[in-house]
Amino acid sequence: MKRIKVISLGGTISALGKNRLDFKNYTSGKLTGEELIEAIPEIKDIAQVDIVQLDNISSTAINKNHWIQLREMVHTYLYEDNYDGIVITHGTSTLEETAYFLHLTVNSEKPVILTGAQRPFSAMSTDVHLNLLHAIVVAAHDESQGKGVLVVSNETISNARNVTKTDTYALEAFQSPELGFLGFITGDLKVMYYQEPVQRHTVTSAFKDVSLTNMKEVAILYSYAGATGDLIEYIAKSGNYAGIVMAGTGAGRFSPKEDEALKVAEEKGLFVVRSSRVSSGNVPHITHYSFLQAITADNLSPQKARILLMLALQKTKNIDEIQELFYTH
């Protein structure tokens, strides 16, 4: 029987509401990982599970210190304690960001699975029990090896790079637009994979042994009609940021005043990434932005482009090298 370590971080999966119809005003962090596992006795037939509580908070409170601590814990449990896989319970709001950070930095082929819930433990038709059970089933499955960090939710298995939360409350919130799911968990608890991740991750990632000391801050700004560029100017003057990811309109376009402010920001030493606020499609290099040394995010969301730039700046300040990292990761 496989040995699986569950790292509990809180989120809706740990939440209780005032009654079974409380789907929105519940409080996260009311249940520990131990209590979640105890509520699903069927898990004992799937794997030997041990639990550790890293934190018990809403995922809106997650920061890069949690990511660094998680990576260290994952390496310890997989290498020193020889667990066969990891399951991380996490709030859904920023789950995709934690998953992508680990996808880029964990140096192991063993399964690392993130899961959460859209409905609190106390709610009618909660998805807590099945999502957690399925995550452990996937972590214990032989074919989950070597696929990088995975997200399990609503009977689906997603690649951490491509998955995103697409709905505020619906159970099918986690989707992989355009590229699709890697696989599914069937009604008889079989794990069925139909695709493999292509981009570099985990043991093939350029960041598998990167130093995470003094990671630089990167901001995300959302472009819109009539944007003045004032926030870009503020970020550039503050001295607190190494880069800006722009969630641009269309294929990564900005207002004329934002264009001007981004040029000044680059002159002050900030790295600029062009991404899009549009939910699908890639951001190519275009002639209009030849006045900038901007990096294109390819098809990464702004929030994932931010993570990749933060990690890239731990390795290099060369624009061409950073761009290649965006194309390959």
pLDDT (tens digit, 9 = 90+) per residue, 255-277? 999 999 999 999 999 999 999 99
- Mean pLDDT (whole number) for 68-94: 98
Can you give the residue range of the structural domain that contains 308? 218-328
Q: In sequence order, what are the residues at sequence separation of 6 or more whose Cβ sits closer than 8 angstroms to the Cβ of residue 95? A: 11, 59, 114, 116, 151, 165, 174
CA dist 329 to 104, 105, 262, 295, 312, Å? 8, 11, 25, 14, 10
Domain count for the chain, please give it. 2
Instruction: Say if residue 178 is in the same domain as residue 316.
Output: no
Residue 212 located in a structural domain: no
Question: What share of the chain in percent tops pLDDT 70?
Answer: 100
Buried b (16+ CB within 10 A) or exposed e, 268-288: eebbbbbbbeeeeeebeeeee
Q: Residue 305 — very low, low, confident or very high, per pLDDT cuts 50/70/90?
A: very high
Answer yes or no: do 137 and 46 share one domain: yes
- Distance between CA atoms of residues 91 and 26, nearest Å: 13
277 and 141 part of one domain: no
Name the residue among 130, 128, 139, 151 with its Cα closest to residue 46.
139
Q: Are 304 and 275 a contacting pair, CB within 8 Å? A: no
Per residue in 11-20, pLDDT (tens digit) is 999 999 999 9
- Clarify whether residues 142 and 93 are in a common domain: yes
Is 12 marked active-site?
yes
Same domain, 53 and 179: yes
Asked whether residue 178 carries a pLDDT value surpassing 90, the answer given is no
Other beta carbons within 10 Å of 255 = 17
Query: 79 and 35 in one domain?
Result: yes
Q: Are residues 197 and 57 in the same domain?
A: yes
Catalytic residue among 12, 92, 164, 296: 12
Task: Assess whether 167 and 309 both reside in one domain.
Answer: no
Domain stops at, among 144, 176, 202? 202
Structure tokens belonging to residue 71? 């990576």
Instruction: Name the band, by pLDDT with cuts 50, 70 and 90, for residue 135.
Output: very high
Q: What is the CATH number of the domain that holds 258?
A: 3.40.50.40
Q: Is residue 91 assigned to a domain?
A: yes
- The answer on 196 and 303 residing in a single domain is no
pLDDT tens readout for residues 248-257: 999 999 999 9
226 and 278 inside one domain: yes
- Residue 99 belongs to a domain with what CATH number? 3.40.50.1170
Read off the pLDDT of each residue in 154-177 and give the average, rounded to a whole number. 97
The answer to whether position 207 is within a domain reads no
pTM (2 d.p.): 0.97
Does 9 have pLDDT greater than 90?
yes
